[in-house]
Structure 1
């Protein structure tokens, strides 16, 4: 299990965007980077800088994905027929923790990772505790009976800040979600613009 060592709120401030669209993001009050030099005017980024920033933003959005794992996603996306950037998004959205987050069973992507790790989730009736598990189209993802009334779950289902996308069919009464289809980039409700094409350019240099 990988561990995020940096404070997650700093990801927002370092990138200069509220990448999860959270009302509590410090960027809402301090629209500049962290540290004593955070308010300095930033110079124009090079092509490499733009590509690196796009990679950091996409990788950071999905929580605690390591560079090794993210590079493996890119390698798999490039092997599959079709647009590599779109394939990369599809692979990331098929992660079990991403599906749990999209279904609004938990409030954040970080909570989703922990929730899966702690064994609260079943896939097609079998317990799965691997956040990176790749969900297939038609798979049913549900919470264990003992987990359905947890405060974090009840809070998440009432969140007004985001909706369940149409490629995930969620029943909040039974706490069951079905992964209906693999989404395209335009289907994914990112609060900020993601640029997987720049991520592809970064790795294909």
Structure 2
């Protein structure tokens, strides 16, 4: 599991956007970057800078995946048939921690990674502790029986700030979920605009 090097709100401020749509994000109050010179860090951004920011934003959204792992996902997406950017999004949304987050079993992507890592989730009846585990369409994801009453789970189910997307089928009474289909970019409920095409351009240089 990659380490959480950056606080999630620090990522928001660096990007100048509330990338998870969280009501407590400092970007809701001030849109400039962190540090004493944050307000002055404006100016023309190069094509490389725009592509880098798009990559950092998408990578950060999924819990700051390590660069090695993220590049590996991109390379796999580029080998698949069809649009590489769309394939990249599909692979990211098939991560077990992403599905757990989308199903609203936990409140944040960071919590989803920890939740899986600590053994609270089963896939098709077997405990899986790898956040990057690749979920297939139709797989049954469930919260372990002894974990269903954890405060973090009960809190997440009640969250009004986001909804479960259509491509994830959820039963919050049984605490189970299924990936109904692999989503397109427009299906994914990002709080801000993600630009996987720029990520592709970044790695294609």
Q: TM-score range by the shorter chain?
A: over 0.9
Residue deviations 1:49-100 (CA, integer Å, cap 9, x gap): 1000000000000003100000000000000000000000000000000000
Aligned counterparts of 2:74 and 2:41: Cα–Cα separation in 1: 33
1:184 aligns with 2:184: yes
Match of 1:32 in 2: 32
Residue deviations 1:123-170 (CA, integer Å, cap 9, x gap): 000000000000000001000000001110011001000000000000
Change in CA separation of 1:70 and 1:151 when aligned onto 2, cut-off 3 Å:
same
Aligned counterparts of 2:31 and 2:202: Cα–Cα separation in 1: 27
- Secondary structure at the residue paired with 1:39? helix
Aligned counterparts of 2:103 and 2:59: Cα–Cα separation in 1: 20
Aligned ranges 1:42-81 → 2 under 5 Å:
42-81=42-81
Match of 1:127 in 2: 127
Would you identify which runs of 4 or more consecutive aligned residues in structure 1 move more than 3 Å?
A: none
Aligned counterparts of 1:51 and 1:181: Cα–Cα separation in 2: 29
Aligned CA-pair RMSD: 0.7
Aligned counterparts of 1:69 and 1:59: Cα–Cα separation in 2: 10
Structure 2, unaligned runs of 5 or more: none
Residue deviations 1:14-56 (CA, integer Å, cap 9, x gap): 0000000000111111221100001115011111110000000
Aligned counterparts of 1:74 and 1:31: Cα–Cα separation in 2: 30
Aligned ranges 1:88-127 → 2 under 5 Å:
88-127=88-127
TM-score in terms of structure 2 length: 0.99
**Cα displacement (A) at 1:6:** 2.0
Aligned counterparts of 2:158 and 2:145: Cα–Cα separation in 1: 19
TM-score in terms of structure 1 length: 0.99
Structure 1, unaligned runs of 5 or more: none
Checking the alignment, whether the CA contact within 8 Å between 2:33 and 2:41 is kept in structure 1 is no
Aligned counterparts of 1:97 and 1:167: Cα–Cα separation in 2: 15
